[in-house]
Chain A
Amino acid sequence: QVQLQQSGPGLVKPSQTLSLTCAVSGDSVSSKSATWNWIRQSPSRGLEWLGRTYYRSKWYNEYAVSVKSRATINPDTSKNQFSLHLKSVTPEDTAVYYCANLDSVWGQGTQVTVSS
């Protein structure tokens, strides 16, 4: 079955870039039926969708309005994974970050704290 394995730092300094990676096994990141998402969860905001990448003869990336100017989601077909980069972070970006195919599977989650 499909599994997602997240990696990345748990502590990021304010104004720096948060970078997380999600390795896909049991499916292809280039699948024409799947979408690959990033979601975060915090006590103040609940579950918040950040964006997604997917392949339908070409690559598409879509972002939530709240992070559109700061977020980039990139697929890496050579490693069958996708990543999230969120620049200019503030303490408000402190949350547990998840990657997910929202119809089938979530990653294990990464607690990211933004602090100096």
Chain B
Amino acid sequence: SSELTQDPAVSVALGQTVRITCQGDSLRYYFASWYQQKPGQAPVIVIYGKDNRPSGIPDRFSGSGLGDTASLTITGAQAEDEADYFCNSRDTSGNHVVFGGGTKLTVL
């Protein structure tokens, strides 16, 4: 079982805004990172730290957090955003990593 909790599936209409959430005790102490994974590919980090995007990640991706919940927001979802999204953070010890179970995003 995952120590971070995500909704298994979320859908969004093309061009609309969607929020994917991640909940867990470790998020009170550590920022979440968010990963996009398309079939047959390795995960790609899209958000890390407070709200940082690696180069090459569109600015429609943003991150936020409050208490034990972190959120990934896609503002103006595109067809190419359809993918699985995983969150992770350090665990409460700071030395291990915990993952969420993943959210399958469908763009309608």
Are A and B associated in one complex?
A: no
B residues near A, CB below 8 A? Answer: none
A residues near B, CB below 8 A? Answer: none
